[in-house]
Structure 1
Amino acid sequence: MALIACGAIAQPCAEVIARRGWPVDVHPLPPLLHNRPDQIAGEVRATALRLAARYEQVVVGYADCGTYGALDAVCDELGLARLPGLHCYDVYAGAPRLAQFFDDQPGTYLLTDFLARSFTRTVIQELGLDRHPELRDTYFGHYTRMVWLAQEPDDELRALAAQAAASIGLPLTVVETGHDGLERALAGLVAGHS
């Protein structure tokens, strides 16, 4: 079985798969596709077609991820299953918990371990804030807090998450999620399609 995984969650997916001993090969796509969600469905489609020649089963390690149904259309066309939810945040924290975060503070910016590690590159540099810090309010003026969905919190990641929040002027809230949600979602993909 092949898992086409978002590059932002490919490593934890591979760790879960290895620990569980599942016969699944992880094929990551670039995490920066999240900055161009209109390209995710096309990349998944092309990769799935390429992998179909080598694997009996191909599944998709993406939630909708801002494709507004385009990824579901590809999955329907090719008979692929994908992770549940709108975003990987749903997979890590659960959709009801996320809904509560947004009910409490609609201006909540979500952070994962991957995003904490790569924030300077994937957000600050990609949005041009390193060159044009005056754009901070344009991008983040309506946010009121950053919630880090911490999968494997340690001192280094805590420092990086705090730095990410400070770099866009938001207070940080830490919510430890672990990988349980991801593991359950992957188990559903693997068990349902192996």
Structure 2
Amino acid sequence: MTSPPDDRTLRDTGLAARGTGRVLMIGCGALAREILDLRDANGWTHLDLTCLPAIYHNHPEKIVDAVRAAVAEHRDSYSEIFIAYADCGTGGLLQAACRELGVEMIAGPHCYSFFEGNDTFAARDEITAFYLTDFLVRQFDAFVWKPLGLDRHPELRDMYFGNYDTLVYQAQTDDPALTALAETCAAKLGLRFERRLTGYGDLATHLRDWART
């Protein structure tokens, strides 16, 4: 079993490739645990993983150039490279870059969609839901509370979240402690709480396809 770095390292630095496989996944640090769990559970020892800093979730303008740089850095070392990102706020620019680079990425607008299943997520058409994953529950303060200044100005909460009515926790794992923490996040935002045990969703499908390469 491969132990990923702690969440703070994945958030700020990412994950370096170990150079032990022939197929490389370049992914978001927020997906590192899920990707490594899937790889280890299925014995995909030929898959290697490198992750960009998860904090790019809050700065999608950095994703495309960082993916380009990672592909250029590793292309000569692997027979295949895949991108473990969806669009993730890049407005189609990541898809265009991947097409130009000749690498495949995950289909969908963002991880909330592919964790639930892109078709299922699109059918819900939820415009008043705020989503958290396992990683984002653990890193709620660093990704939501502090960047929005709510630690200093909690009175801004209703301005930011007044048009939401529900916090949806998309649980990749069945962890009571994480569920309790997610409920606390919902309470802090003044939102109704809903938990959905999504598992790995379309991420697992893509990894299975890539593992056959």
Q: Identify whether the pair has TM-score above 0.5, normalized to the shorter chain.
A: yes
Give per-residue Cα distances to partners, 1:95-148, cap 9 Å, x unaligned. Answer: 23223433xx52111111111111111111122111121221222111110111
Secondary structure of the residue aligned to 2:194 is: strand
Q: Does 1:152 align with 2:173?
A: yes
Q: What is residue 125 of structure 1 aligned with on the other side?
A: 146
Amino acid across the alignment from 1:17: R
In structure 1, distance between residues paired with 2:114 and 2:208: 12
Q: In the TM superposition, what are the counterparts of 1:101-180 in structure 2 within 5 Å?
A: 101-102=124-125, 105-180=126-201
1:17 corresponds in structure 2 to 39
User: Which residue identity does 1:51 align to in structure 2?
Assistant: H
Letter in structure 2 aligned against 1:116: V
Give 2:20's aligned residue: none
Q: Which 4+ residue blocks in structure 1 deviate beyond 4 angstroms?
A: none
- The letter for the 2-side match of 1:124 is W
**Alignment TM-score, normalising by the size of structure 1:** 0.92
Output the aligned Cα RMSD: 1.4
Deviation at 1:168, TM superposition (A): 0.9
Distance 2:201 2:116 in 1: 9
Match of 1:4 among 16, 26, 43: 26
Q: How does 1:48-63 map onto structure 2 within 5 Å?
A: 48-63=71-86
Q: Match of 2:190, SS?
A: coil
Q: 1:38 aligns with which of 54, 61, 72?
A: 61
State the SS of the aligned residue for 2:104.
coil
Letter in 1 for 2:28: C
Q: Secondary structure at the match of 1:53?
A: helix
In structure 1, the residue corresponding to 2:30 is in which secondary structure? coil
Q: Shift in Å at residue 166 of structure 1?
A: 1.0
Matched with 2:115 is 92
Distance, in Å, in 2 between the alignment partners of 1:172 and 1:46 is 39
Asked if the contact 1:148–1:173 (Cα under 8 Å) also holds between the matched residues in 2, the reply is yes
Judge conservation of contact 1:82–1:189 (CA < 8 Å) in 2: no
The answer to whether 1:83 aligns with 2:106 is yes
Q: Where does structure 2 lack aligned partners over 5 or more consecutive residues? A: 1-22
Q: Is 1:183 paired with 2:204?
A: yes
Amino acid at match of 2:105: R
- One-letter code of the match for 2:128? G
Q: 2:51 aligned to 8, 25, 28, which one?
A: 28
* TM value normalised by structure 2: 0.84
Mapped partners of 1:179, 1:90: distance in 2: 11
Give a deviation string over 1:15-58, Cα, whole Å, max 9, x none: 10122122111101111101011111111111111011221211
Q: Sequence identity, in percent?
A: 40
Q: Is the 8 A contact 2:167 2:193 kept in 1?
A: yes
Cα distance in 1 for partners of 2:192, 2:124 equals: 14
Residues 144-191 of structure 1: per-residue CA shift (max 9 Å, x gap): 101111111212101110011111110111111112432112112333
Aligned amino acid, residue 81 of structure 1: E
